[in-house]
Amino acid sequence: MINFDNTYARLPDRFYAHVVPAKVPAPSLVGLNEALAEELGLDPVWLSSAEGLAMLSGNQLPKEADPIAQAYAGHQFGGWVPELGDGRAILLGEVIDLHGKRRDLQLKGSGQTPFSRRGDGKATLGSAIREYLCSEAMAALNVPTTRALAVVATGEIVPREHAHPGGILTRIAGSHIRVGTFQYFQGLQDQDALRQLADHAMKRHFPEATQAQNPYLAFFERVVAAQASLIAKWMQLGFIHGVMNTDNMTISGETIDFGPCAFIDSFHPDKVFSSIDRHGRYAWSNQPQAAHWNLARLGDALSPLIAKDPAAGKTLISAALDRFPHVFKEAYHSGFAAKFGLLSIAEKEEQFIADSLQFMAEQEVDFTLFFRELTRIAGGSESARLRELLGSRAGVEEWIADWKVLTEGEDDERVRVMQDCNPVLIPRNHRVEQAIQAAEAGEFGVFRRLAEAWSEPFAEHEEVSDLEEPPLSHEVVCETFCGT
């Protein structure tokens, strides 16, 4: 039994379509996130029961659920698509968690909706596993993100390029409202709906904005700031989202849609993994510009709410957008300063960060191991492994000497700061692939081991020290796919 309270489903009919999840033949629970269940006030024992599995597979919903597919639009790789919507996701309803926060509970992969176009509305088990692992790791790495409550194998075959076992992910989000949700009503020139959506999203995510002189502008400013800080956090982990289309950007500031995403092993700012990102639009270093562009689209959509006079609206929106680079830079520099163990940040340190990232790219060093080794050295360890990582190329000794000059003294504080932001483990792409391949063969031990290890990414545990290592040459993942 779940106390759903479905405020989104009480918005006007044109915000969504009522849908019923497709039934699946032989559901089985592959993974259940017990800690998250408890945080949501849900009983893990009930969720693992036949009734719980019936809900997580979409076969039978509790009567309090009000399943809908949400309408949205979006710019995909810069091209306008006036209607996208949940084509393979169904929102069952909202629950209030133990902290009093409203959270969406959504099934991803449970069949067609009016927004499916030619798609089957299904998900492969592999894609559900990927999203579970990556979103849960992101949460443990202290990055705002949607969460994963469960993965179910459906017992169906889902035809893609090859035949794959089907799966359903239960996704939890502060909300699934996207930049593209606003664009949908902008496209329809439906100002009434825009206002209701903005009021709903503001109350849910930034209630303090309702008190501002211009609430819609204050709301927009908060979304801009949330996204600027999010992108900085991604970059500090070497994370590349891969599909930063406006339909994949939340209003809440949570990371959403772990499709062809990747975590960088050997660092280069131009890295791209997604097979569909042919021109590197969403490369590691392009992510702030992409987010800024998306937010400009949100500004366009909100403009009539922000000011009656379009020229006045434009001025206010531009000023709000101009805050993006400042908030981003501040978050980027303070975050990287902490990673390098710099306890204060001024022009000299900013330059050091830029030079060091360039140096790391030239050395093709493993991003995560580099910062780990630096943390160890700050804690008094030998620097042999760092030298081994960097190889014997020119500039290594000079770089280490420069870093030492900038990081003298106050060792305890420095080590604590570095340990708190330089993870021991990240969801390395080759490990995610191994979990997917094993799951496709019906073996879930790899998935469970990774989920457990990545729930504590800052801790050193001997049993999982193999997960610290970069891929061997034959294990390197060069390209990632949506794998829907």
Site membership for Mg ion, residue 248 (CB under 5 A): yes
Site membership for ligand AMP, residue 87 (CB under 6 A): yes
Site membership for ligand AMP, residue 259 (CB under 6 A): yes
Minimum Å gap between C-beta 484 and ligand AMP is: 4
Known active-site residue 97: no
C-beta closer to ligand AMP: residue 86 or 265? 86
Q: Name, in order, each residue with C-beta under 8 angstroms of 368's C-beta and a sequence gap of 6 or more.
A: 237, 238, 263, 265, 422, 423, 425, 426, 468
Measured distance CA(230)–CA(241) in Å, rounded: 11
273 binds, among ligand AMP, Mg ion, none (CB under 5 to 8 A by kind): none
3-state secondary structure 241-267: CCCCCHHHCECCCCECCCCCCEECCEC
Measured distance CA(300)–CA(295) in Å, rounded: 9
The one catalytic residue among 66, 104, 247, 265: 247
Looking at 286-395, list the stretches that DSSP marks H as alpha helix, in order from N- to C-terminal side.
287-306, 310-340, 347-363, 367-378, 384-390
Minimum Å gap between C-beta 109 and ligand AMP is: 8
Q: Name, in order, each residue with C-beta under 8 angstroms of 68's C-beta and a sequence gap of 6 or more.
A: 6, 8, 9, 16, 17, 18, 19, 90, 91
E strands, 35-88, in order: 68-70, 74-76, 79-81
Exactly one of 6, 146, 229, 248 binds ligand AMP (CB under 6 A); that residue is 248
Q: Which residue has the tokens 């702030």?
A: 288
Site membership for ligand AMP, residue 114 (CB under 6 A): no
Q: Name, in order, each residue with C-beta under 8 angstroms of 37's C-beta and a sequence gap of 6 or more.
A: 43, 44, 47, 149
Minimum Å gap between C-beta 247 and Mg ion is: 5
C-beta closer to ligand AMP: residue 111 or 427? 111
Which two structure tokens, joined as six digits, stand for 277?
Answer: 């990102």
Site membership for Mg ion, residue 294 (CB under 5 A): no
121 binds, among ligand AMP, Mg ion, none (CB under 5 to 8 A by kind): ligand AMP
Exactly one of 86, 131, 257, 366 binds Mg ion (CB under 5 A); that residue is 257
Among candidates 27, 17, 15, 13, which has minimal Cα distance to 112? 17
Which two structure tokens, joined as six digits, stand for 19?
Answer: 């849908």
> Given CA atoms 182, 185, 186, 190 in this order, what sign does their dihedral have?
negative
Number of residues this chain uses to bind ligand AMP (CB under 6 A)? 18
C-beta closer to ligand AMP: residue 6 or 124? 124
* Contacting range for Mg ion; rule: CB under 5 A; set: 151-159, 188-196, 242-250, 294-302: 242-250
Site membership for Mg ion, residue 57 (CB under 5 A): no
Exactly one of 21, 27, 58, 85 binds ligand AMP (CB under 6 A); that residue is 85
Binding site for ligand AMP (CB under 6 A): 84-88, 115-116, 119-122, 243, 247-248, 257, 259, 482, 484
Binding site for Mg ion (CB under 5 A): 248, 257
Active site residue ranges: 247
